[in-house]
Amino acid sequence: MKTVVVGLSGGVDSSVAAFLLKEQGYHVIGLFMKNWHDDSVTISNECPWLEDSNDAMLVAEKLGIPFQTVDLSKEYKKRIVDYMFNEYALGRTPNPDILCNREIKFDVFMNIALNLGADYVATGHYCRKKSFKKNGVQIYQLFAGQDDTKDQSYFLCQLSQIQLSKTLFPLGSLLKSEVRRIAQKENLITAEKRDSQGLCFIGKVKLPEFLQQKLKPKEGVIVEIPTNYKGYQNQKKGWQSIEKALISKSRKIIYSQSDGIIVGKHQGAHYFTKGQRKGLGVGGTTQPLYVIETDVNDNIIYVGRGNNHPGLFKSTLFVENKELHWVREDLRLNKGDHLHVMARIRYRQPLQKAQIFKVDHGLYVSFETEQSAITEGQFVAWYLHNELVGSGVIA
């Protein structure tokens, strides 16, 4: 009998994943990850992890499976929280959920599970895994979940072949409504529980409040850039090579305070991200203002009026070699290669037609239509049909 350790989070998805695996004849062990108890940074007055670990324990009891809690807070602080503070301080916007999967669930947690004698680790993610043989080697594939509205493949875009080989996703071919129905039928305490919002495993925290505890407020100005700003006209056509065109299209526009007018003040450029509309505190404009760029060195936020402002849009982004990751190593491109793919730059974004181009120092992703708020530090993931084959951090 194969042993599988399920990451029981105290939510409905992981509860049903554990139930299904037990039904399939696996020896199932439930493990709850405690990822945060740093009193120097308060998360919220409620303590969600206590309630969640209690729910996870009750589910394990109901299913008759062994259960324990593992404390990963030291690793979580080092690999996720410190990294996040550092990225925000640099004016980039990290994705804690993707990092949590890569660094914690499918690394630290997976190693604990395998040391307990597990053959596999399972999670409640909505995605599917398949495999096939190629030249005698087993190749593992990561596909989007059957439920389009819940597909979580994007969050797993940094997984490796080794990690995939040891992972099971029991919910991949189910709809969320079916998962809820199974939980109700089995009288699981999590059946009606709402999906958790907030940072991966930290709980119900609002990001600005979290950041303000480590990144000190610092007053600066908000500058509105007009739609006819000269820099937008300079993105001309007629390049000598594809690479020169890609460099030009992916280039970051550098604004200065004299390019627009001061419309307000803020408490720190590092609290804001591209495409953000809320929290600017500037009223009385004919259309909402959107952040089009942040400058953490000079502590200036640049905004544009309306969600069609040209400062929000770009068709091309770049990923440096060191930030490039192939789930399907066998499909890795060589310098000069290009490939037609479908890609997304954020969770839940419908897949967009794009081409990827491998150059000496990295990879360009060029979209057929311009994308709003391409943000440094976030992840781009590319797919062939609905198989996720690679990803990278946007430079």
Architecture of domain 3-212: 3-Layer(aba) Sandwich (3.40)
- Mean pLDDT, range 13-29, rounded to an integer: 97
Whole-angstrom distance, CA of residue 315 vs CA of residue 28 = 46
Whether 160 contacts 393, CB under 8 Å: no
Rounded distance, CA 323 to CA 395, Å? 9
Q: What is the DSSP string of 102-117?
A: IIIIIIIHHHHHHHTT
pLDDT interval class at 238 (50, 70, 90):
low
Cβ proximity of 275 and 312 under 8 Å: yes
Domain boundaries, the chain: 3-212, 220-312, 313-393
Does the structure show a pLDDT above 70 at 107?
yes
Give the pLDDT of residue 194.
86
Q: What is the mean pLDDT of the chain?
A: 91
Can you tell me the distance from the alpha carbon of 78 to that of 86, in angstroms, rounded to the nearest whole number?
Answer: 11
Q: Under a CB-based contact definition with an 8 Å cutoff, are residues 151 and 175 in contact?
A: no
Averaged pLDDT for residues 367-393: 97
46, pLDDT greater than 70? no
Q: What's 239's DSSP letter?
A: -
Q: Assess whether pLDDT exceeds 90 at residue 288.
A: yes
Closest CA to 121 of 1, 23, 18, 190: 18
What tokens were used for 382? 């590319």
Match domain 313-393 to its CATH number in 2.40.30.10, 3.40.30.10, 3.40.640.10, 3.20.20.80: 2.40.30.10
Check pLDDT > 70 for residue 359.
yes
Q: State residue 201's pLDDT score.
A: 45
Q: Is 14 left (phi over 0), alpha (psi -120 to 50) or beta?
A: alpha
Known catalytic residues are 100, 200
Q: Which of 196-205, 241-250, 319-328 has the highest mean pLDDT?
A: 319-328
Residue 385: pLDDT over 50:
yes
DSSP run (H or E) holding 56: helix 48-63
Indicate the pairing of strand 120-122 with strand 127-134: unpaired
